[in-house]
Amino acid sequence: MSILKTPLPPNDVVSCHECDLLHKHTPLGHKKIAKCIRCGCVLYRDKPNSVEKTLVLSLTSLILYLIATSFPLLSLNIAGRQQVSYLASGVIELFSTGMWELAITVLLTNLLFPLVLILSLITLLGPIWLNKPLKNKGGLFRIAQWLRPWAMMEVFMLGIFVAVVKLSDMADIVYGAAFFSFFAMIITSAAAASSFDPHALWDEE
């Protein structure tokens, strides 16, 4: 990695996330890391087959999302009465009790934002894999980056675990297909984010 001394095309320039020093983008060896020569911050990493891995994991996440939102999450048997809950049941219940601000927050962070993030990655990487151009990839990439911190599926899953532990002594709990699908989607989504290489978007131009 070398410091930038002469003007280069935008795709050949890498800015340090910590100190803003500009560097010339150079190809890396297998699984190598490029660091800033001023502060030592990691600029980018070599991620072999990043497009294919991220695309497959994103498509898997989408399938799991559809299952998680279509099938029962939990079934509670209390004193002979059965109550079936879905992933969206909490949002509906919050709306019905008048807590619409919290309901909207849960709806966005646990249902809509994760879906948009998954679709954004598929839309960004699909054309690269098919060797087709994609317009406005910069805007779509910024949307995906902005949504990433707000997709709080892990927090929602943690809340489900806490509720299950508290209810385990009072009711018989049957885990539905959505429970396992949602848990698997959290893992595949995290793996997709880890394997995603933003530089692959601009290298195709």
pLDDT in tens, 168-186: 777 788 888 999 999 999 9
First to last CA, the chain: 21
**Mean pLDDT to the nearest integer, 120-131:** 86
Q: Is 34 helix (H, G, I), strand (E, B) or coil?
A: strand
pLDDT tens across 32-84, in order? 777 888 787 877 776 777 888 999 999 999 999 999 999 988 888 876 677 88
- The answer on pLDDT for 139 being more than 60 is yes
- The answer on pLDDT for 1 being more than 80 is no
Domains of the chain: 2-45 (no CATH), 50-203 (1.20.140)
More confident residue, 79 or 189: 189
CA distances from 103 to 41, 44, 86, 100, 186 (A): 40, 38, 15, 5, 21
What the block records as the tokens of 143 is 């949307």
Which among 204, 61, 12 has a CA at the least distance from the CA of 125?
Answer: 204
Mean pLDDT estimate for the chain? 80
Spatial separation of the C-alpha atoms in residues 69 and 81, rounded to whole Å: 23
How large a percentage of the chain has pLDDT more than 70? 87
CA distances from 184 to 17, 65, 131, 179 (A): 32, 9, 30, 9
Spatial separation of the C-alpha atoms in residues 85 and 171, rounded to whole Å: 14
pTM over 0.85: no
